[in-house]
Amino acid sequence: MNNLEFTAIIGISSILAGLLGALTGLGGGVVVVPLLTLGLDVDLRYAIGCALVSVIATSSGAAVSYVREGYSNIRVGMFLEVATTFGAVTGALIAAKAPTRVIAILFGIVLLISTYLSDRPHNTQAVDHTADPLAIHLKLDGSYPTSGGEQPYHVQHVPSGFAVMLIAGAFSGLLGIGSGALKVVAMDQVMQLPFKVSTTTSNFMIGVTAAASAGIYLGRGYIDPGLCMPVLLGVLVGAWCGAKVLVRAKVTALRLVFSFVLFVIGIEMIYNGITGKI
Amino acid sequence: MATTRQWTDQQVEITISMLLRTGVTLAAAIVIVGGIVYLFYNGNDIPEDHIFRGEPADLRQAPGIFNDALAFRGRGIIQLGILLLILTPVARVAFSVFAFWQQRDRLYIIVTLVVLLILVHGLLATG
């Protein structure tokens, strides 16, 4: 197999990874890493470098459509980015020291948890919370558009949300993923933001979080241009197609199949990490 | 709504997201050009991504990447596109500093500057 064939295979697989990531809502990163390591025998460090780059691309590329809807809260996003970027830099520094098999096992576990979290039904009913003094001081409260006009909301448990974001950022820097599922949990479950606000704000934060560790990976020589080129372009095309499909079709049944696929991949990552094949 | 606010949050976000999309599109275009050059000259080489060696020094830092790209090396041009992609969210945060400054929101100018500082640290960190 020469570079031309290798590039073509990776490009086509990455389109599927981007599609799968978009349809499950988990993002391309969590699919790209197992695809490259388990499927194509690429070194884990190169795979993580590529995943980070494609995460930035999909997050930034999707921002326009998200922002137009008027859900995202830039103050919540910016405030929590302090936690995620700090976590990401820490995660990237740990990644340099940790053996790849440990990273592979952790990756599998996080993949299983993320799949579980994104499949859980979420609370769409707005709950009327009382205002939290800390949230008011930080100007985090906002409102979002509903069929009955602008619906205001009050942000809760700011310190706990911040702490979960530190962990989400560390996973992002350590594993090369967007940590979107964990970010949504921090905002939706812990801080009690409306679900739509959580997902759109999370998308906004993912790119910035990934950029914090991508710089470190680049400086360390983990980002291989020949490998990243087909991954990056493939994931972008796949994510774009996935977004189109999501608008048109009801994908509940498909999601179940995809979740099962991700579950198997997660188990395989853990197994390969334990046996030392990665 | 205060009339002194020149930019509403919504306007800021739309401008930012356009900035992001432009950055991604430009980066992808550069990566495609680099990819064509790379495959034209190195298409028949054997890939060695299963062995981890780390990239050569010139593909790790901005000056080296610029030199390689100017020398029309495929890998250098791709890396230039990737560097631009990494810088896109950084530009977004930098623009947010400006936007909060327009709104005279001192607290969020500081918050955003902290994020920017962490990002720049990540970019300049070596090893």
- In chain A, where the domains are located: 3-275
Give the tens place of pLDDT for each residue, A217-262.
999 999 999 999 999 999 999 988 887 777 666 656 777 777 888 8
Residue B48 lies in a domain: no
Distance CA A50, CA A227 (A): 7
pLDDT tens digits, A150-159: 888 999 999 9
Smallest Cβ–Cβ distance between A219 and the set B76, B119, B125 belongs to B125
Rounded alpha-carbon distances, angstroms, from residue B37 to A63, A120, B31, B34, B43: 30, 46, 10, 5, 9
Residue B91: inside a domain: yes
pLDDT at A37 over 70: yes
pLDDT at B44: 87
Chain B residues 59-98 with a CB less than 8 Å from chain A:
59-61, 74-76, 78-79, 82-83, 85-90, 92-93, 96
State the average pLDDT for chain A. 88
Residue B1 lies in a domain: no
Please report, for residues A51, A227, B25, the alpha-carbon distance to residue A48 in angstroms, rounded to integers and kept in the order given. Answer: 5, 11, 22
Confidence of residue B126 (pLDDT cuts 50, 70, 90): low
**A78:B78 CB<8 A:** no
B 10-49 residues inside an 8 A Cβ radius of A = 10, 12-14, 16-18, 20-21, 23-24, 27-28, 31-32, 34-35, 38-39, 42-47, 49
Query: Is residue B4 a part of any domain in this protein?
Result: no
Nearest to B119 among A85, A227, A232 (CB): A85
The alpha-carbon radius of gyration of chain B (Å, integer) is: 19
- CA of A86 vs chain B CAs: smallest distance (Å): 7
Give residues with Cβ within 8 angstroms of A174, minimum separation 6. Answer: A91, A92, A94, A95, A98, A103, A106
Mean pLDDT of A7-13: 94
CB neighbour list of residue A213: distance below 8 Å, 6 or more residues apart: A52, A88, A89, A91, A92, A172, A173, A176, B122
**Chain A, window 198-237: residues with a beta carbon less than 8 angstroms from a chain B beta carbon:** 207-208, 210-216, 218-230, 232-233, 236
> Is B100 within a domain?
yes
> In chain A, what residues touch B16 (CB-CB under 8 Å)?
63, 67
SS3 assignment, position A263 = helix
Residue A36 has pLDDT above 70, yes or no: yes
Residue B112 lies in a domain: yes
- Which member of B13, B24, B122 has the closest CB to residue A212? B122
Distance (Å, rounded) from C-alpha B69 to C-alpha B91?
A: 22
Using the Cβ of A141 and the Cβ atoms of chain B, whether some distance falls under 8 Å is answered with: no
Q: If you search the block for the tokens 């901005």, which residue do you land on?
A: B62
Q: So what's the pLDDT on residue B3?
A: 45
Least confident of A99-103, A265-269, B1-5, B43-47: B1-5
Reported as a single tens digit per residue, the pLDDT across A187-207 is 988 999 888 888 888 888 899
Q: Which residues of A touch B51 (CB under 8 A)?
A: 43
- Determine whether the interchain pair A75/B108 forms a contact, defined as Cβ–Cβ distance below 8 Å: yes
Q: How many domains are there within chain B?
A: 1
Q: CB A43 to CB B52 under 8 A?
A: yes
DSSP state of B6: S
Tell me whether residue B78 is in a domain: yes
Structure confidence at residue A248 (pLDDT): 65
Q: Phi first, then psi: what are they for A152, rounded to 5°?
A: -75, 155
Residues in B touching A96 (Cβ below 8 Å): 127
In a domain, B50, yes or no: no
The H or E element containing residue A145 is: strand A142-146
Residues 6 or more apart in contact with residue A115 via CB below 8 angstroms: A24, A26, A181, A259, A262, A263, A266
Check residue B1 and give its pLDDT: 43
Mean pLDDT, rounded, of chain B? 88
Measure the CA–CA gap between A49 and A228, rounded to whole angstroms. Answer: 8
CA distance B62 to B82: 11
Q: In this predicted structure, what is the pLDDT of residue A54?
A: 92
B11: enclosing H helix or E strand: helix B9-42
User: Is pLDDT of B123 > 90?
Assistant: no
Q: Which domain holds residue B105?
A: 9-43+57-124
